[in-house]
Amino acid sequence: MDKNFWYLKNCDLFERLSQDQIAQVERNSSVRQFGRGNLVYLPTESSDSVFLLLSGRIKLYHITGEGKQALLALIEPGELFGELAILGGGDREEYAEAMLKSTILRIPGPIIQTLMEQHAAVSLGVTKLMGLRRQRVEQRLKSLLFRSNRDRLTYLLLDLAEKYGRLTAQGVLINIKLSHQELASIIGSTRETVTVLLGEMQDERSIDIQKRQIILRKAQHLAHTIDFKLTPVLQAKPDQSGEYLLRGAEA
């Protein structure tokens, strides 16, 4: 067994494929490196392939008419992106930029399409992927409609906690560094407003910030204020369990 296959086996979508099929995907795909700040693709480019992030971190964003950046998604290793290419080649609609040095596998759309036709499991997997992402976006839409910036930010922090959270003695540590500007670009607000709101939350002892890392001291309480159903893992009393890693750490 070729050791290079690990990343395909690691991805939910491909894990059930036979050796042959994996080999075929691999033969037709190519690996590339991108340094921090490099663009993987940009709008108006035609979308003929799908990407699998092997390492690093990618952000997908849109630039508004007034030049503001609207952050659409953060992609972590093992996740696919640019997957709308599977549906047939419209143009890309957003920018994909490496936030860290990243390695990416580029898989031509037709390869996936063929697989889908041959393998019901792949097909179902892609459908699930689309469905889940749609659910996420819809969830996010709801979190923005009618809500104050304060509540949007709270929602965002809890959302990040579910993806990047670590349970520590002080509370839930959000293990990713995002600037206030980036946070603002996710909730559709301004950098200054985010700064002020985070300040308020600190004054209220709901959160704690050290070296640009945010710790939710009262995750449960925050969740309560906006009807967020917090995953049970994050509800554990920190002092009981000590340090408990939820997801892959960052360097």
Partner DNA sequence: AACGATCTGTATGTTATTTCACAGATTAAA
Partner DNA sequence: TTTAATCTGTGAAATAACATACAGATCGTT
Please state the closest distance from residue 219 (CB atom) to DNA, in A: 20
Q: Does 88 bind DNA (CB under 7 A)?
A: no
Stretch of residues binding a second copy (CB under 8 A), selected from 19-27, 51-59, 127-135, 204-212: 127-135
Residue type, 79: E
Q: Does 123 bind a second copy (CB under 8 A)?
A: yes
Do residues 171 and 219 touch, judged by C-beta distance below 8 A? yes
Which of DNA, a second copy, none is residue 199 near (CB under 5 to 8 Å by kind)? DNA
Q: Does 117 bind a second copy (CB under 8 A)?
A: yes
Separation of alpha carbons 107 and 199, rounded Å: 44
Do residues 68 and 106 touch, judged by C-beta distance below 8 A? no
Q: Does 224 bind a second copy (CB under 8 A)?
A: no
Q: Please count the residues of this chain forming the interface with a second copy, following the rule CB under 8 A.
A: 37
Q: How many CB atoms lie within 10 A of CB 188?
A: 13
* Closer by beta carbon to DNA, 150 or else 218: 150
**Listed residue (161, 149, 223, 212) closest to 186, CA to CA:** 149
Q: Which residues inside 77-116 make contact with a second copy, applying CB under 8 A?
A: 84, 86-87, 93, 116
Residue 117 to residues 16, 59, 108, 126, 147: CA-CA distances in angstroms?
A: 15, 30, 15, 12, 43
Query: What are the tokens at 157?
Result: 């922090």
Options 133, 191, 217, 218; binder of DNA; rule CB under 7 A: 191
- The angle that helices 149-164 and 180-187 make with each other, rounded to 10 degrees, is 110
Query: What are the tokens at 248?
Result: 């892959």
Please state the closest distance from residue 68 (CB atom) to a second copy, in A: 5
Which of DNA, a second copy, none is residue 103 near (CB under 5 to 8 Å by kind)? none
Which of DNA, a second copy, none is residue 117 near (CB under 5 to 8 Å by kind)? a second copy
Which of a second copy, DNA, none is residue 93 near (CB under 5 to 8 Å by kind)? a second copy
Q: Does 62 bind a second copy (CB under 8 A)?
A: yes
